[in-house]
Structure 1
């Protein structure tokens, strides 16, 4: 599938509020230790750096970031932060590891109107399920349906609205699409 990340970013900029839902970059296979402690693979480290640079190049720099407390999500964000500079406020939320889409809805509800670009780095299936739950009827339903397949590591789904995040409910935002390291 061919994705035009530049066109996607241009479409996103037409809206006042943009939510970037990101699945962490590729993690190492489960082995010794807990799932929560799984680190990124060497490919995952490269993916995270590439996505940080891509979001910056596309002028999709978040002003706020929420990240799961799991090792692989924290490492993904750590690799991206250098590209973003000192601007974004970062919060680590354990709820993003264990509570699924409800954790994302809670974050949206607690957001402030002056927060316009929110990046949430979490896990699958939370990212794809949340994007589907937020996608409005005006979204491309074929693209929304593809989320049933899940999101690949280091991919970002973009949803947008002219309404503040704290007013978002089910099917409130336009799902614009997703892109990942292979698309930029």
Structure 2
């Protein structure tokens, strides 16, 4: 799954961790992580640290549950991370996610912290239906972090050539042992 060559570009796709249901009168945008979600976010962040994963820039949805997921990364990787909040990651379609990748492809790496179904759809657009089914049989998991390595920098309208370097999926039972 992992290639020893240095990728031309590395994309991290992080779906927000598990969140609670909206309370009566609460907007979906304001839904926070639940206890399990906080644990998942911490596990994913620690797994990123353990593997030396560090994006050049993080583009994060402005929704509360995404910001909270990204905050776990900041605690684990250090406050000097370049985190930018992007409203369009909350309400935009998959093409918005793709456009953001293209706009930041001049960097060595980029992390998108966002929502399903857009994260899973982008994953499938990049890697194909067969690879997606093999890696994400039950769908893109909460707090799942895909590391996708590109052989060439993604270009607007171009065909992207990439492979899945790793997929980190937090296991709730790991949190109990900590």
Query: Does the pair score TM above 0.5?
Result: yes
Match of 2:29 in 1: 36
Q: Which deviates more, 122-131 or 144-153?
A: 144-153
Aligned counterparts of 2:47 and 2:53: Cα–Cα separation in 1: 8
Q: CA deviation at 1:71?
A: 0.5
Q: CA deviation at 1:26?
A: 0.6
Which of 18, 23, 43 lines up with 2:15 in the alignment? 23
Aligned counterparts of 1:69 and 1:83: Cα–Cα separation in 2: 20
TM-score (norm 2): 0.84
TM-score (norm 1): 0.81
Match of 1:110 in 2: 103
1:101-159 deviations in whole A, cap 9, x for unaligned? 1111111121152x2121111011111100111126xxxx6432244742111001221
Q: Which deviates more, 124-133 or 76-85?
A: 76-85
Asked if 1:181 corresponds to 2:170, the answer is yes
SS of corresponding position for 1:181: coil
In the TM superposition, structure 1's runs of 4+ consecutive aligned residues that sit over 6 Å from their partners are: none
Shift in alpha-carbon separation, 1:17–1:171, aligned structure 2, 3 A: closer
Asked if 1:143 corresponds to 2:146, the answer is no
Q: CA RMSD in A?
A: 2.5
Match of 1:129 in 2: 121
